[in-house]
Chain A
């Protein structure tokens, strides 16, 4: 049945011959080993025994190589059936009789469609993003949407020394902000920023790129049980969960791939405006509370305080 489906480009004759050749090859190989196993026996003289054994062994080896040659010749005739199938080798999956049990093939087709679509949309998106020159994807001129591999080769290999330098300069710039730098896993730095007595921020860096931030309360624990910085859990307080969201937004806003240190500095400047998180009223409605939350949003340029819903 399977062969029938492949028939258009396949020489069926050659196929059956090839199968026969494989059988011949197997039997001749078996003969070689039989001969070796039996060894030298049933001969009167030592010389006769050796001669007979060598001759038999030689002959069986010859037949092996002959059969092998035959098989190689036939395999050329058979050709490559899979070339003809639109999905190449994966197309053979559709011929698998166990298909009813495992929906592998239909899933594969689905995935293929999705990836096609994804590629198309990614292309469109990168085209649109390239028009906005100050955003994160600024310097990607290519059509591909893979932003990191292209953007970072130069900035990813900054020496740790330089990163330390930039961070400590920022640390000295803001007296009410203390930055603790650690490298628990290799060269990527993790910062624990303590802002006054208001909040603590965990910043995960990759070279000088900020990958992730988490904002927690001043009184909250930022370490896991084994003493490492806890970069996964959220704050227990709604205010700081909100601020975490805004900080992530800020990460995406402050992007200048050519000058990563400026990015870190402006992010920290923005973060510093949270020192008055509980003291500053909203610049629009003039109130402190809205739905039980203080103004958690800080404008990127003016650093003014707004409620999440009061900002433009």
Chain B
């Protein structure tokens, strides 16, 4: 239940392989692939007051939930809709414009270790690989805060010192039930972070 970018001095490809090897050494089993993608939409200038930049909306898909489509505003609400939400967006062209160049996605392999689900993905934007995403989910537990320590320990076992801090969504959740939307919020934040450091192709450790 967390998404984590790791990029090191080596190439993205090498790092992914290294992580995969460590996971397999732990005893994790490969379980096919996964993919998360994200498209950006601008609110059309006509709607907002002149001069003010329009709000950004992100439309995301997750192969884990093939029938759903997630629409998120930055810091805003997360809308979970059926997959044909995409066609609706085409109809709303007048209000929301698709920023084609900004499409970003993460694809990779899905691993299972006991009750943990690990998704190791390469984040690509256009043709170039920009970073690595690691999603770790502990399926039996529905309250993220409860199992954070457990997750930490697990992540340390294969990510070493690159273990991330507690994701911000956890803070606001307290003890309500974790939902797929929360995962998407984390992916959105991760993608935004990666986008911002476009200028530095080989990034340091985050």
Contact = CB atoms under 8 A, between A and B. Distances in A.
Interface of A: 197-198, 217-219, 237-240, 278-279, 281, 287-289, 291-294
Nearest to B143: A197
Interface string B1-39: 000000000000000000000000001000000000000
A7 to B, nearest CB: 72
B140 A239 contact: yes
Q: Which 8 A-B pairs have the closest CB atoms?
A: A292-B114, A278-B147, A237-B140, A288-B150, A278-B146, A288-B153, A217-B140, A237-B115
B74 interface: no
B204 to A, nearest CB: 29
A197 B175 contact: yes
B142 A219 contact: yes
B111 to A, nearest CB: 12
B149 A218 contact: no
Given A198-B141, A217-B140, A219-B142, A238 B115 contact: yes
Interface string B129-140: 000000000111
A291 B114 contact: yes
Contacts of A239: 114-115, 140
Nearest to B116: A292
Contacts of B115: 237-239, 292-293
Contacts of B139: 217, 237
Contacts of B149: 279, 281, 288
A138 B114 CA distance: 39
Contacts of A238: 114-115
Given A198-B141, A288-B149, 14 more contacts: A198-B143, A217-B140, A237-B139, A237-B140, A238-B115, A278-B141, A278-B147, A278-B150, A289-B150, A289-B153, A292-B114, A292-B116, A293-B114, A294-B150
A276 to B, nearest CB: 8
Contact of B113 (A219, A279, A288, A292): A292
A198 B146 contact: yes
A237 B27 CA distance: 17
A294 B152 CA distance: 12
Taking residues whose C-beta sits less than 8 angstroms from the other chain, chain B's interface range is 20 to 34
B153 A240 contact: no
B154 interface: yes
A215 B45 CA distance: 55
A117 B168 CA distance: 66
Nearest to B27: A292
Contacts of A197: 142-143, 146, 175, 177
A214 B83 CA distance: 37
Contacts of A219: 142
A239 B153 CA distance: 16
A287 B149 CA distance: 10
A46 B174 CA distance: 112
Contacts of B113: 292
A245 to B, nearest CB: 15
Contacts of A281: 149
A293 B114 CA distance: 7
B140 A289 contact: no
Contacts of B142: 197, 217-219
A239 B138 CA distance: 11
B25 to A, nearest CB: 13
Contacts of A288: 149-150, 153
Contacts of A287: 153
A84 B138 CA distance: 71
A10 B86 CA distance: 96
A19 B110 CA distance: 84
Contacts of B150: 278, 288-289, 294
B170 to A, nearest CB: 14
A292 B136 CA distance: 13
A294 B157 CA distance: 14
B177 A289 contact: no
Contacts of A217: 139-140, 142
**Residue among A218, A238, A292 with the most chain B CB within 10 A?**
A292
Contacts of B147: 278-279, 294
